Chain A
């Protein structure tokens, strides 16, 4: 073969490879388009079972690919990065209330007012939590108050009554530790949520109506809560491990603590002997002092960049049906946003601790998650609390720093 022939052969081989690539790409695209497919990006506690997803596919012909992201912060990072690039990270996005302000202000998610039917919204609890400036950005899938669980068997053995103030709570925990019943009686993470829990229940709303901080005023609940949290760590009532592994749940379920920052519905897990050593002794505690708490519900939203909005809405509609909602409660302890599903669970006697929960529901103070700067504040609060429990700064310095940070953010976002 002469030189030209060799070159021609090389070129033909190159063109051949490109052709094969192009054909296989077209075939795979055609195959995937034969069935409609949407992507659903969620945290692990928003995943329906494979059977349920299979049923949805049978009913609608839409295949759902689930992308599970470890937590809401990581999910936010992915959505925001995709938004910066002007692409959809998924068609349907799980939106915890903590992310609603960020996603709506960055236009990552669609305004759903014209998409979602009034009938569907009537069936759900907590719709208004996902409205910002009269626009709906998410369809609620579960409701969730932040609560405290405790291991009632320990209190019974000690003959102790349920604490109603933070002083009683602290004294009881000290006694539990001193008597060697549990080395670390409390499991709260070194993070903003633990601080909110204590501060709100002490009666400090944290922010006023103009979203100015109230937590830095002398004698405020915010400052006292910061001190108490620091003392919990200092006295060894909380494991130092909670500084880096802030998730408080595994330690409680492993039977290593008595009190646990939990959520409405958490007893479904805490009292499941397959998942928790505390079962069947976990009970809800009405938060001490002034009892206030806040709500951490979640919704499903449609990506503003999705080209499968109709299919995405069908999925959301299906997700709010009673069967799926009850599955989420059974699997992850997430209370249904669907009123009918909630009532059915109640009738079936599957809602544990209903009395305390109903009482707790009377004391809700919203955290301003709808403010676009709020996640930045929370991130700073997490850092600051870590530094405080490590004794790098005092509680006073912590609240003052956070208050100044709020003012800076507000100024920038005005």
Chain B
């Protein structure tokens, strides 16, 4: 009755609000605006830059160049060097993380004293921010004062302090390890969750049929973990592909660890080439799109399954 006494505009407003679909849209408006300005607007702007000669040192000379920036990037040997490094980083990181996380999750799934404490400890590395993680490893690996050198020297395992990051290949491997260190707990928790959802009856019946621990792992655990392993694989791939903080804090813009993201940072910010940098960002974006496509496809496949 009260509503009927209001003006016409209020009446129609309440009618809109009465419709749950419209109410949902109304409530979503602020978030959509925020996302547009935080994500889509910069993406559109950087796509525009990718089609321009845009050197921040010479802003007055910015002009449209079509796909020239993309062609320049794809013709540049530095791009392929960075791509190779990235591929290596992703492969090693993903493989190592999945293997270690699988072992950890299998151990943490067992009942033993102190399991909750161990689970909390495993999560600790994931709770450390990437930049802090990078600095921590930088200190650990320092050739003059580093903790790793200190420990190995004290135990007589090395005769003198080693410059762990001197060799380019070693530097890339250490950078990979910093990422593995941070990401393994996350995947462990994912797999642990999946392990706990496997019905125990399956193992009981297998045991009745005479299956040992290895057969249980091979014929029950791993097949049922496969969907989660696929999801974990794709998530880790995405993050490994775009890793920046750890490498930047560990080795800076060292050519030895210049992955695609580092190369993009160098082009855009060190050298002020926003046009080229944006084009490279879109090339990286295409790679990411492909990975995400398979990720989403695998999720849907799993839902159907």
CB pair B165–A244 under 8 Å, yes or no, is yes
Contacts of A174 in B (CB 8 A): none
Contacts of B23 in A (CB 8 A): 7, 10
Q: Does B239 contact A (CB under 8 A)?
A: no
Q: Does B143 contact A (CB under 8 A)?
A: yes
Kindly name the residue among A81, A183, A241, A244 whose own CB sees the greatest number of chain B CB atoms within 10 A: A244
Q: Does A301 contact B (CB under 8 A)?
A: no
Can you list, as one digit per residue, whether each of A51-78 has a CB less than 8 Å from chain B (1) or not (0)? Answer: 0000000000000000000000100110
CB pair B271–A379 under 8 Å, yes or no, is yes
Contacts of B142 in A (CB 8 A): 241, 245
- Given A80-B56, A84-B56, A241-B143, are A11 and B17 also a contact pair (CB < 8 Å)? yes
Q: Does A14 contact B (CB under 8 A)?
A: yes
Can you list, as one digit per residue, whether each of B165-206 has a CB less than 8 Å from chain A (1) or not (0)? Answer: 111100100000000000000000000000000000000000
CB pair A4–B58 under 8 Å, yes or no, is no
Q: Does A411 contact B (CB under 8 A)?
A: no
Q: Does B213 contact A (CB under 8 A)?
A: no
Report the interface size for chain A: residues with CB under 8 A from the other chain. 42
CB pair B270–A379 under 8 Å, yes or no, is yes
Contacts of A11 in B (CB 8 A): 14, 17
Q: Does A357 contact B (CB under 8 A)?
A: no
Q: Does A353 contact B (CB under 8 A)?
A: no
CB pair A3–B144 under 8 Å, yes or no, is no
Q: Does A355 contact B (CB under 8 A)?
A: no
**Please, how many angstroms separate the alpha-carbon atoms of A11 and B3 in the complex?**
14
**Please, how many angstroms separate the alpha-carbon atoms of A379 and B18 in the complex?**
61
Q: List A67-113 residues whose CB lies under 8 Å from chain B.
A: 73, 76-77, 80-81, 83-84, 102, 105-107
CB pair A7–B17 under 8 Å, yes or no, is yes
Q: Does B266 contact A (CB under 8 A)?
A: yes
User: What is the CB-to-nearest-CB distance from B45 to chain A, in angstroms, rounded to a whole number?
Assistant: 9
Q: Does A386 contact B (CB under 8 A)?
A: yes
Q: Is the interface of A mostly helix, strand, loop or mixed?
A: helix
Kindly name the residue among B3, B23, B58, B270 whose own CB sees the greatest number of chain A CB atoms within 10 A: B270
Contacts of A383 in B (CB 8 A): 253, 255
Q: Does B59 contact A (CB under 8 A)?
A: yes
CB pair B58–A413 under 8 Å, yes or no, is yes
CB pair A387–B255 under 8 Å, yes or no, is yes
CB pair A243–B165 under 8 Å, yes or no, is yes
CB pair B168–A81 under 8 Å, yes or no, is no
Q: List B235-259 residues whose CB lies under 8 Å from chain A.
A: 251-256
CB pair B168–A244 under 8 Å, yes or no, is no
Contacts of A376 in B (CB 8 A): 57, 270-272
**Please, how many angstroms separate the alpha-carbon atoms of A83 and B54 in the complex?**
13
In the complex, residue of chain A having the shortest beta-carbon distance to the beta carbon of B166: A240
Q: List B80-131 residues whose CB lies under 8 Å from chain A.
A: none
Contacts of B271 in A (CB 8 A): 376, 379
Residues of B within 8 A of A (CB): 3, 14, 17-18, 23, 27, 55-59, 138, 142-145, 160, 163, 165-168, 171, 251-256, 266, 269-272, 274
Q: Which A-B residue pairs are the 4 nearest by beta carbons?
A: A241-B143, A240-B163, A77-B269, A240-B166
Residues of A within 8 A of B (CB): 3-4, 7-8, 10-11, 14, 73, 76-77, 80-81, 83-84, 102, 105-107, 183, 239-241, 243-246, 251, 254, 256, 372-373, 375-376, 379, 382-383, 386-387, 390, 392, 412-413
